[in-house]
């Protein structure tokens, strides 16, 4: 076969190219990472605490381009990217986000942005770093160390992307180092404490290439109202939400480059009206101003933003009606005016041009009047919808929405019949709480993943649940009958279900607790309180190994708590108050439990010492039972009650929703504190309580108990406790409520009690206490009710006077009750004084004639009266 010279040339060229590519690949595979980069990264590692071995591959034996999180340039093998984010998942039961496996310690930023010369991407997001070291940055970047702002400072960093966000415990006192990384294009400091840096705006504006700035939840307070212009030449995205600015809109905001497309100032405590100067930001695509204190009407001129895709104005104080000009925002995808005191009519004219609308939330404090043609078909197909309206008919246009993923209706009144339940059955998230829905659930099949039908007027028996349901809240309705229709449906039991959370509390349910729990092993939280359920607690509940919270309060349950429940190793809250349960207090409660509430039952026996091993316990409520014996001295070992370290996370059940949101149900307990019954929900994690009142406890109060310095409520009233109140009670500096009433306590009230400055409620009544109530505004500020029934107590606020308080007499008695050496001389002085006074009176009578006659006349009169009285006998 003959080939032409041109074909040979082509073949040769192809072979040459292949050889070059092979050689390049071979060479690049042999190139090891730069030694300077390697040494800098190893130094950086020394400042880090790595509990889970994330950086275990960072060793001298291995090429640093192969280390975890390190990316190198394919040609030069210089380190250009560092990805060291930590992956955490919010637990279904929020007590504390677990970051025990994340990196912690100090960030030596200088080693990265100076010595790793070609590093352009640094992501340390969502770790648990505690400090950032930046002094070295100044000394290396600036040739003149005497001034950070010296003209001799040069930028020796290539860093374009810096993400330190979600390191919640990280505090940065100064951002003076920031302008020297002038190549930065992306900066995310979300969640970092920056409250001490008051010049943050001036420093950030010195980054000429910055296009994305996220300073959400940074505890900023100064919005720099005095600044007219902020020199952001390339800024496109600005997130300043969740800071406490408490001010009006700053003027510099309206003078930003017209290239800005995203502005998020939500939850910033902004005040006043929306300024028309916002129109200067013509290219805005996202305007997020929810959760502020903005007022007035929503202005018509908002309809002039041609590119606006997201408009969120919810949770403010806007009044009036929704302006019709918002209908001109033809690019709008999200419209949210929810939770404002708005009124008026909503008609189809507003939505005629909004063909791209996907998310609509127009819930108002007062239900809006929807005025739509019954045959109107919207030009959009929504994914999320939240609203309230004046019924009784359900808006017919909603039935045309085929792709809704989330439907929220609040404070509305309407009838729910077959067509309605068929429509909502295909919606994954259904939130219909706090309405007046006229409907019967007896034959309804609920199919949504997330269902909230709480606080309505729903009647009938419990509905059926499909295997798709993960969250079901039917609380506070008028549902009746037994639990079998919900949990024992044969058609559903053969299919794997996903149910995590079940709340059917505060209804009129009757019958026994079903024994079908073995088919619902995925359950994490169960709320059955406030019904008329009876019988024993079924042992099949022990099959729920993931169960974290169990509420069975205010029913008619009896018998003992089955010991098989010890298989529920994850149990954190166990609430069976106000039943007829008997037997001993369980000794198998998990050590990680947070709250144990057994009050108002028939429990007897002694307090098991195993309770002392519950190191995470913050609520121990065993009041109003028949428990006897002594208070265990080991209670002082409950470490969670020693420190006042309430978690910043609520004791709540959480469930992930769309767009990185979470639906959250706050766990709630009804507790007796400060002399009143109170319900604690969102603030439950702040409560530290021990209530053993109304039992048969005897013996003395162990002093070890007062090592629980984190306790804020202690109630030991209505028992048979004896002995004195230990002086160690003064250690409980966080105590707010103390009740020792109706016992047999004796002795004096310890002076240390007056040092409890947070004490708001005190009841020591009906004991055998004696002596003076300790002085000080704290104890004397309580009324007499706090001390009544102690006959030997005296001093304010009681009316009984303490006679032993006479200072001259007090000096005559020693502390041990014996007479002092001064006492005989005191008596001699009294006698001498009396004798001298008597002789003085006699001398005056003897030498003064008038006094002498008057005195003898008085004596004669007294003699005549005595004789007359004697004669009459």
What crossing angle do the helices spanning 823-847 and 849-872 adopt, rounded to 10°?
A: 100
Q: Look at residue 25 and tell me whether its pLDDT is greater than 90.
A: no
| Predicted pLDDT of residue 855 | 58
Nearest by Cα to 618 from 566, 572, 554, 584: 572
Instruction: Tell me how far apart the alpha carbons of residues 576 and 600 are, in angstroms, rounded to a whole number.
Output: 9
DSSP 8-state code for residue 492: H
Task: Report the pLDDT averaged over residues 841-850.
Answer: 55
What residue ranges in 376-470 does DSSP mark as E strands?
Answer: 384-387, 406-409, 413-415, 429-431, 436-438, 445-446, 450-452, 464-465
Structure confidence by residue, pLDDT tens digits, 514-555: 888 988 999 999 999 999 999 999 999 999 999 999 999 999
Q: Which residues is 595 bridged to in the sheet?
A: 573, 619
- Over the stretch 174-197, which tens digit does the pLDDT of each residue have? 999 999 899 999 999 999 999 999
Q: Residues 756, 762, 768, CA angle at the centre, nearest 5°? A: 110
Quote the CA–CA distance of 504 and 525 in Å, as a whole number.
Answer: 11
Euclidean distance between CA atoms 30 and 406, whole angstroms: 55
Q: If you average pLDDT over residues 433-440, what whole number do you get?
A: 92
What pLDDT shows up at residue 90?
66
- Asked if residues 535 and 562 have their Cβ atoms less than 8 Å apart, the reply is no
pLDDT in tens, 605-615: 999 999 999 98
Neighbours of 556 (CB within 10 A): 14
What confidence tier does 643 reach under pLDDT thresholds 50, 70, 90?
confident
Question: What does the angle CA 697 – CA 753 – CA 756 come to, to the nearest 5 degrees?
Answer: 110
Nearest Cα to 758, choosing from 720, 780, 776, 732?
732
Query: Which residues are within 8 A (CB) of 13 and not within 5 positions of it... i.e. 6 or more apart?
Result: none
* DSSP per-residue codes, 555-575: SEEEEPPPGGGGG-TT--EEE
Give the C-alpha separation, 9 to 589, whole Å.
84
670/826 Cα distance (integer angstroms): 62
How many angstroms separate the CA atoms of 537 and 535, rounded? 7
What confidence tier does 817 reach under pLDDT thresholds 50, 70, 90? Answer: very low
pLDDT of amino acid 258: 72
Q: Determine contact, residues 500/525, Cβ cutoff 8 Å.
A: yes
Global pTM reads: 0.82
Residue 28, pLDDT > 70, answer no
pLDDT at 582: 97
What does the alpha-carbon distance between residue 443 and residue 421 come to, in Å, rounded to a whole number? Answer: 10
Task: Enumerate residues 6+ apart whose C-beta is below 8 A from 507.
Answer: 474, 475, 476, 477, 478, 479, 480, 530, 531
| Average pLDDT taken over every residue of the chain | 86
pLDDT reported for residue 844 = 55
Q: Is 294 helix (H, G, I), strand (E, B) or coil?
A: strand
Q: Please write the tens of the pLDDT for every residue from 356-369.
A: 999 999 988 887 88
Per-residue model confidence (pLDDT) at position 769: 97
The predicted pLDDT at position 851 comes to: 56
**Residue 198 CA from chain centroid, whole number:** 27
pLDDT at residue 145, rounded to an integer: 34
Rounded mean pLDDT, 292-300: 96
Please give the average per-residue pLDDT across 408-413, as a whole number: 90
| Bond into 641 cis (ω within 30) | no
Tokens at 700, concatenated:
């003395």
Q: Give the containing element (helix H, strand E) for 6.
A: helix 5-30
305 close to 328: Cβ distance less than 8 angstroms: no
Going by C-alpha positions, the residue among 611, 669, 600 that lies closest to residue 641 is: 611
93: enclosing H helix or E strand: strand 93-94
Q: For strand 406-409 and strand 429-431, is the pairing parallel, antiparallel, or unpaired? A: parallel
C-alpha Rg value of the chain to the nearest Å: 39
Could you tell me which of 734, 662, 740 has the C-alpha nearest to residue 701?
A: 740
574's CB contacts (< 8 A; 6+ apart) are 550, 589, 593, 595, 596, 597
Distance CA 321, CA 340 (A): 10
Alpha-carbon span 742 to 732, nearest angstrom: 22
State how beta strands 429-431 and 436-438 pair. unpaired
Taking only the tens place, the pLDDT of each residue in 197-248 is 999 999 999 999 999 999 999 999 999 998 988 889 899 999 999 999 999 9
Over residues 663-683, the pLDDT tens digits come to 888 899 999 999 999 999 888
Six-digit token string for 343: 């009124």
pLDDT of 21 above 70: no
Check residue 664 and give its pLDDT: 85
793 strand-pairing partners: 771
Beta bridge partners of 153: 142
The arithmetic mean of pLDDT across residues 417-422, rounded, is 92
| Interatomic CA distance for residues 663 and 770, integer angstroms | 55
Pairing between strand 450-452 and 471-473? parallel
Give me the DSSP letters along 783-846. Answer: -GGGTTT-TEEESTTSS---GGG-HHHHTTB-TTSPBPTTHHHHHHHHHHHHHHHHHHHHHHHH
Mapped onto helix, strand or coil, the DSSP state of residue 672 is strand
Measured in degrees and rounded to the nearest 5, phi and psi for residue 864 equal -65, -40
Rounded-to-integer distance, Cα 517 and Cα 523, Å: 9
Task: Summarize the confidence of residues 782-797 as an average pLDDT.
Answer: 93
* Cα 751-757-762 angle, rounded to 5 deg: 70
Token duo for residue 856: 């003898």
To the nearest 10°, report the CA torsion of 787, 790, 794, 799: 70
Q: How far apart, in whole angstroms, are the C-alpha atoms of residue 633 and residue 85? A: 46
Write phi, then psi, for 551 (nearest 5 degrees). Answer: -115, 115
Q: Which pLDDT band holds residue 30 (cuts at 50, 70, 90)?
A: low
Rounded to a whole number, what is the largest CA-CA distance in the chain?
177
Nearest-angstrom CA–CA distance, 336 and 323: 13
Q: What is the DSSP letter of 869?
A: H
The b-or-e profile of 20-45 (16+ CB within 10 A means b, else e) is: eeeeeeeeeeebebbeebbebbbebb
Enumerate the β-bridge partners of residue 161: 121, 186
β 271-272/237-239 pair status: unpaired
- What pLDDT band is residue 268 in, cutting at 50, 70 and 90? very high
Rounded CA-CA distance 648/654 in Å is 15
Q: How many Å apart are CA 322 and CA 350, to the nearest integer?
A: 8
Residue 330 has which token pair? Answer: 């033809």
pLDDT at 246: 95
- pLDDT for 482 beyond 70: yes
- Rounded mean pLDDT, 727-741: 94
pLDDT at 816 over 50: no
Give the count of alpha carbons within 13 A of 714, CB side only.
Answer: 22
- The tokens for 287 are 């305007």
pLDDT digits (tens, 9 = 90+) for 156-172: 579 999 999 999 999 99
**Residues 131 and 93: beta-carbon distance below 8 Å:** no
* Span 704-733, pLDDT tens digits: 999 999 999 999 999 999 999 999 999 999
β-bridge partners, 264? 239, 288
Place of tokens 């029913």: 555
The Cα 315–Cα 462 span in angstroms is: 34
Question: 825: which strand partners?
Answer: none
């Amino acid at each position: 076969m003959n080939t032409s010279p041109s074909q040979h040339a082509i073949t040769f060229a192809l072979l040459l190219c292949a050889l070059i590519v092979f050689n390049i690949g071979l060479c690049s595979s042999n190139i090891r990472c730069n030694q300077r980069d390697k040494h800098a990264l190893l130094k950086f590692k020394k400042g880090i605490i790595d509990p889970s071995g994330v950086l275990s591959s960072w060793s001298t034996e291995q090429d640093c381009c192969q280390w975890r999180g390190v990316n190198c340039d394919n040609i030069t093998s210089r380190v250009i990217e560092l990805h060291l984010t930590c992956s955490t998942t919010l637990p279904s039961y929020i007590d504390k986000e677990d970051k025990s496996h994340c990196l912690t310690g100090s960030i030596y930023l200088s080693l990265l942005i100076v010595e790793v010369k070609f590093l352009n991407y640094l992501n340390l997001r969502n770790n648990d770093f505690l400090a950032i070291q930046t002094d070295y940055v100044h000394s290396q970047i600036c040739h003149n160390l005497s001034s950070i702002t010296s003209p001799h400072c040069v930028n020796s960093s290539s860093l374009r992307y810096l993400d330190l966000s979600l390191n919640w415990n990280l505090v940065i006192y100064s951002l003076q180092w920031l302008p020297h990384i002038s190549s930065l294009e992306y900066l995310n400091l979300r969640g970092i404490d920056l409250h001490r840096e008051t010049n943050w705006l001036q420093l950030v504006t010195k980054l000429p290439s910055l296009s994305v700035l996220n300073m959400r939840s940074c505890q900023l307070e100064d919005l720099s109202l005095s600044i007219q212009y902020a020199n952001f030449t390339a800024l496109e995205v600005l997130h300043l939400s969740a800071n406490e600015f408490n001010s009006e809109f700053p003027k510099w905001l309206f003078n930003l480059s017209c290239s800005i497309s995203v502005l998020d100032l939500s939850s910033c405590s902004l005040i006043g009206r929306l300024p028309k100067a916002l129109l200067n930001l013509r290219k805005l695509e996202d305007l997020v101003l929810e959760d502020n204190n903005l007022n007035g009407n929503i202005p018509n001129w908002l309809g002039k933003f041609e590119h606006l895709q997201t408009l969120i104005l919810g949770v403010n104080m806007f009044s009036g009606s929704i302006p019709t000009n918002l209908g001109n925002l033809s690019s709008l995808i999200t419209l949210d005016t929810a939770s404002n005191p708005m009124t008026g009519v909503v008609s189809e004219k507003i939505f005629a041009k909004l063909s791209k609308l996907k998310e609509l939330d127009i819930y108002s404090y007062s239900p809006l009047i929807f005025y739509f043609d019954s045959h109107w078909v919207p030009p959009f197909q929504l994914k999320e919808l939240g609203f309230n309206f004046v019924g009784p008919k359900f808006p017919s246009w909603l039935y045309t929405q085929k792709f809704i993923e989330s439907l929220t209706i609040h404070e509305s009144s309407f009838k729910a019949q077959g067509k309605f339940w068929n429509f909502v059955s295909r919606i994954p998230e259904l939130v219909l709480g706090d309405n007046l829905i006229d409907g019967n659930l007896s034959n309804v099949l609920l199919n949504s993943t997330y269902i909230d039908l709480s606080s309505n007027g729903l009647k009938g028996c419990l509905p059926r649940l499909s295997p798709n349901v993960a969250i079901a809240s039917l609380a506070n309705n008028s549902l009746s009958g037994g639990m079998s229709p919900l949990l024992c449906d044969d058609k559903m039991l053969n299919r794997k279900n996903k149910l995590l959370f079940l709340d059917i509390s505060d209804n009129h349910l009757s019958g026994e607790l079903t024994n079908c729990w073995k088919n619902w092993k995925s359950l994490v939280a169960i709320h059955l309180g406030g019904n008329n359920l009876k019988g024993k607690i079924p042992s099949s509940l022990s099959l729920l190994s993931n169960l974290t919270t169990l509420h069975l309060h205010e029913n008619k349950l009896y018998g003992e708590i089955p010991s098989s429940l010890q298989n529920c190793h994850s149990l954190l809250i166990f609430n069976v108050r106000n039943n007829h349960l008997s037997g001993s207090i369980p000794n198998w409660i998990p050590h990680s439990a947070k709250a144990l509430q057994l009050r108002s039952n028939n429990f007897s026996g002694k307090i098991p010492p195993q309770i002392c091993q519950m190191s995470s316990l913050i609520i121990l409520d065993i009041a109003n039972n028949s428990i006897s014996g002594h208070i265990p001295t080991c209670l002082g070992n409950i470490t969670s009650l020693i420190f006042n370290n309430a978690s910043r996370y609520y004791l709540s059940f959480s469930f992930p929703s769309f767009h990185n949101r979470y639906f959250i149900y706050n766990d709630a307990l009804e507790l007796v504190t400060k002399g009143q019954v109170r319900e604690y929900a969102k603030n439950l994690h702040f409560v530290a309580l021990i209530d053993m009142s109304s039992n048969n406890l005897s013996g003395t109060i162990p002093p070890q108990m007062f090592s629980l310095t984190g306790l804020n409520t202690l109630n030991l009233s209505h028992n048979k406790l004896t002995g004195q109140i230990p002086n160690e009670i003064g250690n409980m500096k966080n105590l707010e409520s103390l009740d020792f009433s109706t016992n047999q306590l004796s002795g004096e009230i310890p002076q240390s009690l007056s040092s409890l400055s947070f004490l708001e409620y005190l009841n020591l009544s009906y004991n055998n206490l004696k002596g003076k109530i300790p002085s000080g505004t704290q104890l004397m500020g309580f009324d007499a009710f706090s001390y009544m029934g102690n006959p030997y107590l005296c001093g304010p606020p009681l009316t009984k006077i303490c006679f032993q308080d006479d200072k001259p007499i007090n000096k005559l008695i020693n502390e041990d009750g014996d007479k002092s050496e001064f006492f005989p001389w005191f008596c001699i002085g009294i006698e001498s004084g009396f004798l001298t006074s008597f002789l003085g009176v006699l001398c005056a009578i003897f030498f003064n004639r008038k006094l002498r006659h008057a005195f003898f006349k008085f004596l004669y009169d007294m003699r005549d009266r005595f004789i007359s009285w004697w004669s009459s006998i």
